[in-house]
A and B are shown apart, each in its own frame.
Chain A
Amino acid sequence: MSRDMSYAGVISRKNEIMKKTVGMDYGIFESGSIAFDYERMMRETGYSLSEIQEIQRSVGVGNTPLIELKNLTALVRKISPKGKGARIFIKDESCNPSGSFKDRRAAVSVYHAEKLGYKGVAAATSGNYGAAVASQAAMRNLKCIILQECYDSRKVGQPEILEKQRKCECYGAEVVQLSVGPELFYTFLKTLEETGYFNASLYSTFGIAGVETLGYEVAIQCREMIGKDPDVVLITHAGGGNVTGTARGLIKAGAINTKVVGASVDLSGLHMASDYDFNRKSFTTGHTGFGIPFATWPDRSDVPRNAARPLRYLDKYVTIKQGEVFYITEALAQLEGLERGPAGNTSLTAAFALAMEMDEDEVIVVQETEYTGAGKHPLPQLSFAKQNGVEVKFGNPDEEIAGKNIILPQHPSMIKAREMDLNKMRKSYVKNCIENTKVQSVSMKDVEFLSEDTKSSVENIKEILTDMGISIV
């Protein structure tokens, strides 16, 4: 009998397909309610930090340079009140084989796939992760399929995504390109079922553990260069893996006083599943369209339990505007001689703004850069925005409306990190937990889990639950 390949039919086999293609059973970490044993899941299904360092070293991933951005720091000090202007350092992750920190995630996933005997790997991603998986699969002689959400209904595609298609194909991967829509996931499931390849999910324990080396290296390199831990580490926040992995690595290095700050590009007002809006945004990742939904409901991902849980680690979450990132990308090239891709500079932009408020003896580390080139550069991205009716001009970034205009700041002092209310996000996360598990009451174990999973007190969680009319038994 043939299998039901309709949308509903394939989605109903989701758990069965995932179990086969991630090679692990998530059930053993479940409590049957909201709580699950996150640390046990990370410990028992992942690899130790030293094993990951070894895996990454063997494929040329990691140990990227940490560079002090002296001219950018000098610029911040010129436009800040006396005594303000923290030192800014950047971790040059573009030095990884495929040009971004995503190699750290892919290295572990693809190693694991090979170890378990899978013939190939598949991933659904339009961004740097696809290139990273393709590159790692090439190194290990595994087959590779990357699925991209790529075109709108006119077959017009973002130059950045088209460049990623080329890069994956040049590593020998098969690239399946789709038009706009969340049913990318349906096609992904069908592909996994047909091929039996390993699901190199961005959100598996392996993928997240792979980023821990990044946070660890930041702490160690900082100590070597300036004799102390960074005061703040700035991390571009999308699906949450970058924040989670880096923060875990900092903790493993003992940098427990370093503040973890996430930054996303503000794309509020644009619908991520809209055919019309698709080509009116200039950032395809690192934006609020991923950052907020994934922080407030991480288990929406393509694995039963997402190993990326940003609220667990964030001390602060800020947003910045598209025009500000393009401006800072130019600044990095013109003042520091580092031409890098815009998406990776999301956290640098926020760092620039925060440095203006911090003291001169404080240190900010921006933990990534990404490669740049045709399609993936401010020139094609701004030119593409103009072609799609988005106005590009100088002005006050506060007036930028995503999809309508891109405002390059009239002066660098206008660049701002706009703080999001983390407690509001915690409430939203708790609400999503209740709605998705459909429980009427929760146990103290659930409360403790929610407290850990949101980096907030047990009292705060109790208050949120009481306000929702949920009893604690």
Chain B
Amino acid sequence: MARKGEWVQVHQIVLKPEERPAHLPEDTKKVPLELWVKGFLNHDAEIGDEVEITTLTGRTIKGELVEINPKYEYGFGEFVPELLQVGIQLRSILKDGECHE
């Protein structure tokens, strides 16, 4: 249950596949153009409901409620061990005076 005034994200279908322009690649043409935007919920609602929000610029936008207090989920990802080798290699070239010719 989301309460009126809570910070939420809503989702809209902007263009259905058949409404998209003709010049798109096949894979893109098969799917709709979707939109997500965040704002304050104008009334109590459940996830999945059609709701109305007020965005930070004061616009009223309707859409399907998808998340409450939407979080930033990206980070630094899984560790990439390959990157460790770059610094080791470069420092050794500089120190040992490796020469191309």
Contact = CB atoms under 8 A, between A and B. Distances in A.
Given A182-B24, A194-B59, A273-B28, A162 B82 contact: no
Given A144-B57, A177-B35, A413-B100, A380 B76 contact: yes
A274 B25 contact: yes
A442 B19 CA distance: 38
A157 B20 CA distance: 21
A313 interface: no
Interface of A: 6-7, 71, 74-75, 78-82, 120, 143-145, 150-151, 153, 155, 157, 159, 162-163, 165-166, 169, 172-183, 186-187, 194-195, 271, 273-276, 326-327, 330-331, 333-335, 374-375, 377-384, 386-387, 392-394, 408, 411-413
A155 B59 CA distance: 24
How would you classify the secondary structure of chain B's contact residues: helix, strand, loop or mixed? loop
A162 B90 contact: no
B1 interface: no
Interface string B73-91: 1111111101101110111
A273 to B, nearest CB: 6
Given A80-B100, A181-B28, A412-B93, A174 B86 contact: no
Given A79-B100, A275-B28, 20 more contacts: A143-B56, A143-B57, A157-B74, A166-B72, A174-B59, A176-B35, A183-B33, A273-B28, A275-B25, A275-B31, A326-B83, A330-B87, A331-B90, A374-B75, A377-B76, A378-B83, A380-B74, A380-B76, A387-B77, A412-B90
Given A166-B72, A275-B31, A379 B85 contact: no
A406 B43 CA distance: 48
A195 B83 CA distance: 46
Nearest to B97: A78
Given A174-B59, A335-B94, A183 B74 contact: no
Contacts of B39: 174
Contacts of B97: 78
Given A82-B101, A335-B90, A382-B80, A177 B24 contact: no
B49 to A, nearest CB: 19
Contact of B27 (A78, A150, A163, A276): A276
A383 B80 contact: yes
